[in-house]
């Protein structure tokens, strides 16, 4: 064996050992990675695409700044809600992609993160009948509570002036949940004026134009207050929203995919079983049809499988149902290069060459066809990835990415690993019958 081949063999074996170490057992901690990263179609969770209404944008703000602000606030809300590893990304100009993997209370999380949550204080004026001014429908007529700020400008009193430390407390005695808040310096200036003006009158507290409560102002207050009139869940959500701040742009869900965790684990189990069956079928076919060469291909496939799994784990590549399918299909494609080489070898053997010469010729002559056919698959994968990316189809992206990695790796294993093993094999088993031709 040539020295360069010996080095190559050592390299392949080292790579294989490293990959094997990285994935045994699969959930071992290697470089901070534990187990495989599963997409939300396999572990359950939600995939949401929000679209922001840019027509409601503050003219003084750029689109980028407004969108980044919204993304940041959604992130804070998702984390405060307790979602594990949420993924929040801006997509295109006015869309936001939110992934909540493993989240069970999806509907609640959705309400929490997607709501503008603008807290407003409004006041009303007494009418002649001893009650308060009414609108056409007979409801109390509220107007935004305004006051003069420290810079002598008139400002509306909103949640904007709250410190980000609101929390839920239980009212002593009744155990009714309340959200306790504190004003920042500017808020305190405004709140003092508003409470002074509305003493012994109701002060309306509104969230996104919906009234929460309208307590009667008992005293002039400066720094803090409480909001009542909610159940525990609502109070918790409000506290999270007040702390993150209200969204500058209203959001609308334009695409949603939610998978139940039980369905995800069903899918995972089934696709693993299916994958194993598929791989065994391919191995059986290869060994029955190509004999010793098939055994070599199987060894190459084994190395391929171990390295592929290690790449998935260490990069990490998020595995989706379609991604696993791509991984399994790529096994079928991985042996294609082997088939081309083995068929070529058989031709060379029939033409009367020695085993060694046939192996060399098989590899060098099959190379062009292998290269050309893999490049076309790469082109398809790249186009697919782009296609999936433009509208956030994680199934499509997962498939394209996994197939690309699989096909690229299979070129390496088919060409280097199979060749090395085949060169070793022909030293041990010399009868051409084992390579698929009559002895």
Partner 1 sequence: MIDIVNKRNWFFLISIILLVPGIISMLVFGFRLGIDFSSGTVMTLRFSTTVDQPGLRQQMTDLGYGEATIQKTSEGDYLLRIREINTGQKEALIAGLKKALNTDVTLRDFYTVSPLVAGEVARNAAIAVGVASIFMLIYIAFAFRHMPKPFRWGACAVIALLHDVLIVLGIFSILGWLIGYQVDSMFITAMLTIVGFSINNTVVVYDRIRENMRKGISKDFAVTVNSSILETITRCINTSLTVILTCLAIYLFGGVTIQQFIMALLIGVVVGIYDSVFVAGPLLVLWDRGLRTSPQAA
Position among 85, 89, 256, 354 found at the interface with partner 1 (CB under 8 A): 256
Of the candidates 219, 38, 213, the residue with the CA atom closest to the CA atom of residue 119: 213
* Beta carbon nearer to partner 1, 63 or 263: 263
* Beta carbon nearer to partner 1, 134 or 269: 269
Minimum distance from residue 69 beta carbon to partner 1 (Å): 23
Could you say whether residue 321 binds partner 1 (CB under 8 A)? yes
* Beta carbon nearer to partner 1, 7 or 289: 289
Determine the length of the chain.
Answer: 439
Could you say whether residue 360 binds partner 1 (CB under 8 A)? no
Binding window for partner 1 (CB under 8 A); candidates: 56-64, 186-194, 210-218, 382-390: 382-390
Minimum distance from residue 233 beta carbon to partner 1 (Å): 14
* Beta carbon nearer to partner 1, 226 or 368: 368
Could you say whether residue 329 binds partner 1 (CB under 8 A)? yes
- H or E segment to which residue 232 belongs: helix 232-244
Position among 72, 386, 427, 431 found at the interface with partner 1 (CB under 8 A): 386
Q: How far apart are CA 244 and CA 119, in angstroms?
A: 12
The Cβ-side half-sphere exposure at 269, using a 13 Å CA radius, reads 6
Position among 403, 405, 409, 426 found at the interface with partner 1 (CB under 8 A): 403
Could you say whether residue 110 binds partner 1 (CB under 8 A)? yes
Helix (H, G, I), strand (E, B) or coil at 104: coil
Q: How far apart are CA 327 and CA 404, in angstroms?
A: 9
Dihedral of alpha carbons 120, 125, 129, 135, sign:
negative
What are the start-end ranges of the H helices in 315-417? 321-350, 355-391, 394-412
Minimum distance from residue 336 beta carbon to partner 1 (Å): 4
Could you say whether residue 365 binds partner 1 (CB under 8 A)? yes
Dihedral of alpha carbons 300, 301, 302, 305, sign:
positive
Helix (H, G, I), strand (E, B) or coil at 108: helix
Stretch 263-302: interaction string toward partner 1, x if CB under 8 A = x--xx--xx-xxx-xxx-xx--xx--x-------------
Position among 251, 295, 317, 396 found at the interface with partner 1 (CB under 8 A): 396
Binding window for partner 1 (CB under 8 A); candidates: 25-33, 182-190, 220-228, 340-348: 340-348
* Beta carbon nearer to partner 1, 124 or 309: 309
β-partners of residue 179 are 168, 227
Could you say whether residue 253 binds partner 1 (CB under 8 A)? yes
Could you say whether residue 383 binds partner 1 (CB under 8 A)? yes
- Exposure string of 172-197, with b = 16+ CB inside 10 Å and e = fewer, is eeeeebbbebebeeebbbbbbbbbee
Could you say whether residue 399 binds partner 1 (CB under 8 A)? yes
Q: How far apart are CA 318 and CA 331, in angstroms?
A: 18
Could you say whether residue 375 binds partner 1 (CB under 8 A)? yes
* Beta carbon nearer to partner 1, 73 or 110: 110
Position among 259, 292, 317, 426 found at the interface with partner 1 (CB under 8 A): 259
Could you say whether residue 377 binds partner 1 (CB under 8 A)? yes
- H or E segment to which residue 73 belongs: helix 63-81
Position among 190, 207, 212, 322 found at the interface with partner 1 (CB under 8 A): 322
Q: How far apart are CA 277 and CA 214, in angstroms?
A: 65
Distance linking the first and last C-alpha atoms of the chain: 25
Position among 18, 132, 378, 412 found at the interface with partner 1 (CB under 8 A): 378
**Tokens read off for 325:** 């399918």
- H or E segment to which residue 259 belongs: strand 251-259
Binding window for partner 1 (CB under 8 A); candidates: 62-70, 181-189, 194-202, 397-405: 397-405
Q: How far apart are CA 75 and CA 89, in angstroms?
A: 9
Residues of this chain, 33-72, that bind partner 1 according to CB under 8 A: 41, 49, 51
Q: Which residue has the tokens 């309340």?
A: 178
């Amino acid at each position: 064996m040539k020295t360069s081949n010996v080095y190559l063999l050592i390299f392949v074996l080292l790579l294989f050992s490293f990959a094997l170490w990285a994935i045994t057992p699969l959930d071992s901690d290697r470089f901070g990675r534990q187990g495989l990263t599963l997409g939300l179609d396999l572990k359950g969770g939600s995939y949401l695409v929000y679209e922001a209404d840019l027509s409601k944008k503050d003219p003084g703000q750029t689109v980028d700044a407004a969108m980044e602000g919204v993304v940041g606030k959604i992130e804070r809300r998702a984390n405060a809600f307790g979602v594990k590893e949420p993924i929040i990304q801006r997509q295109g100009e006015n869309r936001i992609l939110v992934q909540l993997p493993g989240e069970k209370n999806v509907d609640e999380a959705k309400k929490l993160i997607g709501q503008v949550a603008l807290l407003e204080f409004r006041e009303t004026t007494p009418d002649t009948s001893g009650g308060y001014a009414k609108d056409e429908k007979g409801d109390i007529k509220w107007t935004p509570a305004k006051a003069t700020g420290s810079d002598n400008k008139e400002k509306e009193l909103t949640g904007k002036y709250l410190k980000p430390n609101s929390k839920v407390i239980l009212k002593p005695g009744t155990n009714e949940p309340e959200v306790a808040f504190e004003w920042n310096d500017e808020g305190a200036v405004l709140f003092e004026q508003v409470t002074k003006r509305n003493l012994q009158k109701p002060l309306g507290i509104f969230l996104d134009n919906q009234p929460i409560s309208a307590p009667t102002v008992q005293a002039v207050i400066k720094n803090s207050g409480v909001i009542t009139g909610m159940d525990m869940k609502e109070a918790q959500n409000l506290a999270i929203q007040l702390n993150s701040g209200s969204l500058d742009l209203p959001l609308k869900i334009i695409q949603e995919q939610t998978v139940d965790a039980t369905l995800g684990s069903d899918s995972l189990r089934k696709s693993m079983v299916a994958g194993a069956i598929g791989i065994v079928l391919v191995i059986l076919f290869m060994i029955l049809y190509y004999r010793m060469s098939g055994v070599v291909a199987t060894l190459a496939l084994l190395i391929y499988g171990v390295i592929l799994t290690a790449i998935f784990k260490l990069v990490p590549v998020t595995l989706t149902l379609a991604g696993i399918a791509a991984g399994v299909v790529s096994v079928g494609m991985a042996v294609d290069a082997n088939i081309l080489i083995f068929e070529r070898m058989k031709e060379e053997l029939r033409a009367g060459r020695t085993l060694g010469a046939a192996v060399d010729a098989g590899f060098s002559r099959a190379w062009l066809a292998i290269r050309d056919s893999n490049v076309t698959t790469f082109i398809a994968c790249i186009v697919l990835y782009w296609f999936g990316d433009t509208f956030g189809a994680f199934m499509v992206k997962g498939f394209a990415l996994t197939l690309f990695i699989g096909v690229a790796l299979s070129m390496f294993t088919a060409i280097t690993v199979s060749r090395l093993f085949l060169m070793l094999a022909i030293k041990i088993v010399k009868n051409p019958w084992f390579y698929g031709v009559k002895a």
